[in-house]
Amino acid sequence: MSKNELSLNELSQQIYNHVGGMKNVISIVHCMTRVRMTLKNRDLVDLDGLKAIPGVLGVVDDEQLQIIIGPGKVNKVAKEMVDMAGVDLGETFPEAHSGKEMVNEKAREMKEAQKAKQKQSTLKVILKDISNIFVPMIPAFVGTGIVAGIAAILTNLVTAGSINGATWQQYIDVMNILKNGMFGYLVIYTGINAAQVFKATPTLGGVIGAVVMLTGMNPEAPLKNLFTGQALSPGQGGILGVIFAVWLLSLVEKRLHKIIPDSIDIIVTPTLSLIIIGLIEIFFIMPLAGFISDGMVGGINWVLNVGGAFSGFILGTFFLPMVMFGLHQILTPIHVQMINETGQTMLLPILAMAGAGQVGAAIALWVRCKKDKELTEMIKGALPVGILGIGEPLIYGVTLPLGRPFITACIGGGIGGAVVGLVGNIGAIAIGPSGVALIPLIANGRWWGYVLGLIAAYVGGFLATYFFGIPKEQLEKNTLAETTEDIIVKPTSQVKEVSLTSIANGVAHTLEEVSDPVFQEKMMGDGYFIDPSDSHIYSPVDGTITTVFPTKHAIGITTTNGLDVLIHMGIDTVNLDGKPFDVKVTQGQKVKQGDLLARVDLEQIKEAKKETSMIVVLTNMDDIDTFVLTKTGTVTHTDHLLNVKMRLSVK
């Protein structure tokens, strides 16, 4: 058993933990690949938690809760689960807790109590919540970020006169529309996710997020900043302002739910919550951000007057905190004024270094924490868009949730800003994104100084994070993953081809077309399926019968070079107790390609309102070098459908 693999008991216990405990289970059976559970209360099931358990390949929420474990192992897990409950497979669980469950629950309670004694700092709690808010948005950040980066490069090339705007502008507009679908409404998505984290109503959280956009405000009579008397600007308060407002929303909602009668709760609670939090957000949170922004303007002007490397370091270091509070909007008129007066803004290239520092920090995290697969996967997705100047995925998905790397990344940005300030006279001829996408807009051929700053920020962020920015708990997590690993000499490999024929006469389809989501999403592996025209099922390969399932609906074959083939006859036919299946082979029997494996009563399957799709899945895809489905449509059982190149390990 590998270090990260759970024992049968641990896996079984974790499954119980995420379905509401043994007391929520009526019975357990299993098929060729899945543990099938009949439950009392489906609301107690934590689907995301189940899917995250090591060893669980997927979950199907159907009439029965189906937990995909895989052939061979599923029967062991199901047996362990019913043994823990003191019943047999298919037998109804007793209402009273078994002694073993009582012991397990007591142990779990003690573990949770011990965990509760451990002190959690307020900062760690806040950072964890921020992570939970933004991690679900990472795929959208990455996709729209890449689109935005491409659009930015094209826009800058048009502005610089390097490409024709008449030819490219429509493509740029389409990409900007796609990009703005995410970034234009980021405050709304943040509000929804924050509400889910803080246990508020998600749609109300979205509304609170949208409030900072000030949609519907009369521009001729704008709302006033209570601190300065100036008009409020859309976006003041920023992302963190939205998170704070939604946290307040969760408190107000919980309180109102307790005091408002149930008969009018659905009307009164959301109305009062929106009014109370909306007023606080508009007349306190946003004005407070505006008040801070005014002070920041004075600070920026002072820093600009000082000039040189010092200015560059200060501006490069503190720009990202400004972005988080939505204060970067105050810089737009400064950029515009600089361009109008001098033809360039020397502020933008300095501020662009902040994102470069994030890139360097992320690379350092990748190097130091390479065993943390979840973190490294997020970094791999966020790095390309970070290099293109879209920093949100790196900020909210990687550095900010970890705390210390965000600070060292800001220092890296300061180092890059100091280099740009030291070189001097590096300006952009228009307002655009940062990162490498800004290079075409650098004025007077001084792009080399900007690139030098980017490199300095990358290196500065990397070094600061590598030596000082890795949190202690992250290092311990990575060290734990590295220790106790045996030195394994990887075998050399040979590749051998295997050709699979059709298992039946009929119509062949790709696996994506099958109705069962487990096979459709290839949780068990890739393959094909046949809509059969007759009852005969044939072996697609030479090999040994490794499994004939008790309900006869599934057969496993292993070839001499280790290819594992699963033949699944019909969809959800495990409940038919083997009646439609006349299996002609036994476990351990040698078979040749084209040998008859079974006869299937197709009409009996149809009468049971089940589908007759005959599925072939290769369950050890990690051992497969290439996989090609060569034919679909009408086939006979002698037609070759799959070409597979197996990777054979030899000593």
Contact indicator for 356, 322 with CB cutoff of 8 Å = no
Q: How far apart are CA 573 and CA 552, in angstroms?
A: 9
Q: How far apart are CA 410 and CA 461, in angstroms?
A: 7
Q: Which residue has the tokens 């708990």?
A: 473
Q: Which residues of the chain have pLDDT under 50?
A: 1-3, 96-118, 484-493, 650-651
Catalytic member of 31, 331, 390, 576 = 31
| pLDDT at 104 (0 to 100) | 44
| pLDDT at 581 (0 to 100) | 92
Q: Which residue has the tokens 């351990």?
A: 588
Position 474 in a domain: no
Nearest to 460 by CA among 411, 513, 418, 506: 411
Position 29 in a domain: yes
Nearest to 134 by CA among 91, 94, 192: 192
Which residue type does 473 have?
Answer: E
Position 535 in a domain: yes
| 219's tokens | 């521009």
**Cβ contacts of residue 80 below 8 Å, gap of 6+?**
8, 9, 11, 12
Helix, coil or strand: residue 274: helix
Position 630 in a domain: yes
Residues 320, 321, 325, 331, CA torsion sign: negative
Q: How far apart are CA 329 and CA 307, in angstroms?
A: 22
Contact indicator for 326, 364 with CB cutoff of 8 Å = no
Contact indicator for 356, 457 with CB cutoff of 8 Å = yes
Position 276 in a domain: no
Position 587 in a domain: yes
Which of 117, 132, 157 marks a domain boundary?
117
Work out the number of other CB atoms within 10 angstroms of the CB of residue 47: 14
Contact indicator for 366, 455 with CB cutoff of 8 Å = no
Which residue type does 606 have?
Answer: K
Q: How far apart are CA 621 and CA 495, in angstroms?
A: 14
- SS3 string, 109-155, reads HHHHHHHHHCCCCHHHHHHHHHHHHHHHHHHHHHHHHHHHHHHHHHH
| pLDDT at 324 (0 to 100) | 65
Residue 105 has what DSSP assignment? H
Structural domain range at position 62? 8-117
| pLDDT at 101 (0 to 100) | 45
Work out the number of other CB atoms within 10 angstroms of the CB of residue 563: 20
Which of 97, 117, 137 marks a domain boundary?
117
For residue 520, list its beta bridge partners: none
Residue 396 has what DSSP assignment? I
Q: How many domains does the chain have?
A: 2
Q: What is the pLDDT of residues 124-142, one digit of tens each?
A: 677 667 767 876 776 776 6
How many angstroms separate the Cα of 476 from the Cα of each of 380, 480, 481, 482? 22, 6, 9, 10
| pLDDT at 80 (0 to 100) | 87
Total-model pTM = 0.46
Burial class (CB in 10 A: 0-12, 13-18, 19+), 175: buried
Q: How far is CA 215 from the centre of its chain?
A: 31
| pLDDT at 79 (0 to 100) | 85
Position 629 in a domain: yes
Instruction: Please indicate whether residue 31 is annotated as part of the active site.
Output: yes
Position 34 in a domain: yes
Q: Which residue has the tokens 């509070």?
A: 325
Q: CATH number for the domain including 500?
A: 2.70.70.10
Residues 249, 255, 258, 262, CA torsion sign: negative
Q: CATH number for the domain including 50?
A: 3.30.1360.60
Burial class (CB in 10 A: 0-12, 13-18, 19+), 337: exposed
Which of 77, 95, 117 marks a domain boundary?
117
Q: What is the pLDDT of residues 472-498, one digit of tens each?
A: 777 766 665 555 444 333 444 455 788
| pLDDT at 294 (0 to 100) | 59
Helix, coil or strand: residue 515: coil
